[in-house]
Amino acid sequence: MTEMVAEKSGWAKRKLGEGKGIGIAAHRSFLTYVASVVEVEVSDDGTIKIPRVDTVVDAGLVVNPEATRAQFEGAAVFGTSVARSGEITAKNGVIEQSDFSDYPVARTNEAPYQTNVYLVDSDAPPAGVGEPGVPPFIPALCNAIFAATGKRVRELPLSRTNLGKSS
């Protein structure tokens, strides 16, 4: 899986640096194997852009390829939301977030610009495609941030972390 996503993403051919980086992560859940490569650009003030995501999925026999790709495209957006600003807090034993007004989802300018999903041909029984896309996305994003900035992300959401050059 990781070799395939590295190949599909052009990992070895990329010339990055100066605030640009790529990261990789892999995961297995719901009998599905997923590997993701995330590319980031981090500006001097710490603003993050995600130009590209490549994800390889081995979910056994895929009955509906387009719906499966859509699940993993959505996982990249949801993973971006969780990593950037997803935080659940409680006050006096009550959860403070109640809706998208106080639990923001990544907007178009924050979400990955390009998401490529590659499905592995398989005769194995169908496996899960709803949840498995999120778990590898976030560590791949954090690895890409490290590659771009030299700074390890030790706390999420990223809104709590200063990734600018002055920190």
pLDDT tens digits, 23-74: 999 999 999 999 999 999 999 999 999 999 999 999 999 999 999 999 999 9
Q: What is the mean pLDDT of residues 101-112?
A: 90
User: Coil, strand or helix: which one is 30?
Assistant: coil
- Domains of the chain, start order: 2-160 (3.30.365.10)
> Are residues 5 and 34 in contact, defined by beta-carbon separation less than 8 angstroms?
no
Q: Enter the tokens of residue 31.
A: 């009998």
Beta strand 32-42 pairing with 20-29:
antiparallel
> Are residues 29 and 144 in contact, defined by beta-carbon separation less than 8 angstroms?
no
Output the pTM of the full model.
0.92
Q: Kindly indicate the confidence band of residue 9, based on its pLDDT and cuts at 50, 70 and 90.
A: very high
Q: What is the mean pLDDT of residues 138-144?
A: 97
Q: Which residue has tokens 């709803």?
A: 130
- One-letter amino acid for residue 68 of the chain: T
What distances in angstroms separate CA 115 from CA 6, 54, 77, one per listed residue?
A: 14, 6, 9
- One-letter amino acid for residue 148 of the chain: A
Helix/strand/coil (H/E/C) assignment for every residue in 58-121: ECCCCCCHHHHHHHHHHHHHHHHHHHHHCCCCEECCEECCCCCCCCCCCCCCCCCCEEEEEECC
Q: What is the mean pLDDT of residues 91-118?
A: 92
Asked if the model's pLDDT at residue 100 lies above 70, the reply is yes
Asked if the model's pLDDT at residue 102 lies above 60, the reply is yes
